[in-house]
Amino acid sequence: MRPTTISSLLMPKQKSQTFTRIRAEVIRLVSLIPVGKFTTYGSIAIHMNVVPRHVATVISRLTEEESATLPWHRVVSTNARISQNMPIEIASVQQARLQVEGLSIDAKGYIKNADDHFHVVGVRREIRWTDAD
């Protein structure tokens, strides 16, 4: 076992190649969601063969530049609802952006007429995110 040193504690943790690949795919898929449409963390996750938390983690850690250009607001929680886990300020931005694109949202954060606006990401892909056999 390697001894713990001060420098090893202060060094930023390296992201795995697997996370880097997952992150790139989430960003690619989110960029494809058309104006006036939405999808869910779970739909992207199923398509990618990961768990919804992976998708949410990527979106929650976008850089300022990525947040400004990527339509992250078009990804919502299960049942077409704005996530209750995000800070209220961010949820308000998400709701406002969706409304500008023509989606109606009720007082509880659900997208009205969700079936009319749902973007199908695609069928489950049999992706292996690690290089292990």
pTM: 0.83
Are 29 and 41 in contact, with CB atoms under 8 Å apart?
no
CATH 3.40.960.10 for the 17-117 domain, yes or no: no
- Domain layout of the chain by residue ranges: 17-117
pLDDT of residue 122: 85
Please provide the average confidence, as pLDDT, over all residues in the chain. 89
What would the pLDDT profile of 29-88 be if each residue is shown by its tens digit?
999 999 999 999 999 999 999 999 999 999 999 999 999 999 999 999 999 999 999 999
